[in-house]
């Protein structure tokens, strides 16, 4: 990705990546890279203000999972189900007021299967969010530029984010970009 810049990589059990994208296309491409690495049930929480690119990132994850149907923001329907290498559930909690409403959506059913669950506004679910997860926080820097902070909690999730860091690192080196700031050691 030509217009993606690695700001920092913190490796270890719970790695964190901080990246800058310069377009919606690059944000989606980053999601696609992550989606292509997923082989089993994974929870991804997307946070950020309205219009930050959460749905764009979710579309990329779906692309990486081989989802062929059109992925749109499920703001009004709350949950969209798609078929891919693994089932893909895209949940938008923006219109939800509290965790009780989240439970009423059948939350446990979505988390209890071998699927990729991508949730926009996961903070609305409170304590219902699983402990093992990937968090993606997206913030505006400029009209098209975004800062994405991708962090992991859990062994499998840590490996996924570590693998994503490795792909991005090699891509940056292959493109002749300056070495990203790397904090910590791989593991």
pLDDT in tens, 36-66: 999 999 999 999 999 999 999 999 999 999 9
The mean pLDDT value of the chain amounts to 88
- Of the candidates 54, 45, 73, the one whose C-alpha atom is nearest the C-alpha of residue 129 is 45
Mean pLDDT in residue range 23-33: 95
In a domain, 183, yes or no: no
> What distances in angstroms separate CA 98 from CA 73, 91, 95, 122, 140, one per listed residue?
20, 15, 10, 11, 26
CATH number where 140 lies:
3.40.50.300
- For residue 177, pLDDT over 60 is answered with no
Average pLDDT for residues 75-90, to the nearest whole number?
84
Inside any domain, residue 101 = yes
pLDDT category at 3 given cuts 50, 70, 90 is confident
Is residue 124 in some structural domain? yes
Task: Assess whether pLDDT exceeds 90 at residue 72.
Answer: no
Pairing of strands 4-10, 146-153: unpaired
CB count within 10 Å of CB 95 equals 12
Give per-residue pLDDT as tens, 88-101.
999 999 988 888 89
Whole-angstrom distance, CA of residue 24 vs CA of residue 1: 12
Domain assignment of residue 51, yes or no: yes
User: Would you state the pLDDT for residue 182?
Assistant: 47
Does residue 185 register a pLDDT over 60?
Answer: no
> For residue 140, is it within any domain?
yes
Tokens 């975004």: give the residue.
Answer: 146
Q: Is 154 within the bounds of a domain?
A: no
Lowest mean pLDDT among 69-73, 126-130, 136-140: 69-73
* Contact between 121 and 93 (Cβ < 8 Å): yes
Tally the domains of the chain: 1
Its domain, for residue 83, covers 4-149+163-178
22 falls within a domain: yes
- What stretches of the chain adopt beta strand conformation (E)? 4-10, 16-21, 42-47, 79-82, 88-92, 116-120, 133-140, 146-153, 181-183
In this predicted structure, what is the pLDDT of residue 186? Answer: 41
């Amino acid at each position: 990705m030509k217009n993606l810049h690695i700001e920092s990589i913190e490796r270890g059990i719970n790695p964190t990546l901080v990246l800058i994208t310069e377009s919606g296309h690059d944000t989606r491409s980053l999601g696609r890279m992550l989606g292509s690495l997923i082989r089993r049930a994974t929870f991804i929480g997307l946070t950020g203000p309205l219009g930050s690119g959460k749905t764009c990132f979710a579309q990329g994850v779906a692309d990486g999972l081989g989802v062929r149907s059109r992925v749109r923001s499920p703001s009004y329907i709350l949950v969209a189900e798609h078929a891919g290498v693994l089932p893909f559930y895209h949940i938008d909690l923006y219109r939800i007021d509290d965790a009780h409403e989240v439970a009423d959506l059948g939350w446990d059913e979505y988390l209890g299967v071998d699927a990729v669950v991508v949730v926009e506004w996961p903070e609305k679910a409170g304590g219902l969010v699983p402990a093992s997860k990937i968090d993606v926080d997206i913030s505006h820097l400029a009209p098209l530029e975004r800062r994405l902070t991708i962090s992991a909690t859990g062994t499998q999730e840590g490996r996924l984010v570590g693998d994503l860091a490795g792909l991005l690192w090699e891509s940056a080196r292959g493109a002749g970009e300056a070495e990203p700031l790397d904090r910590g050691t791989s593991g």
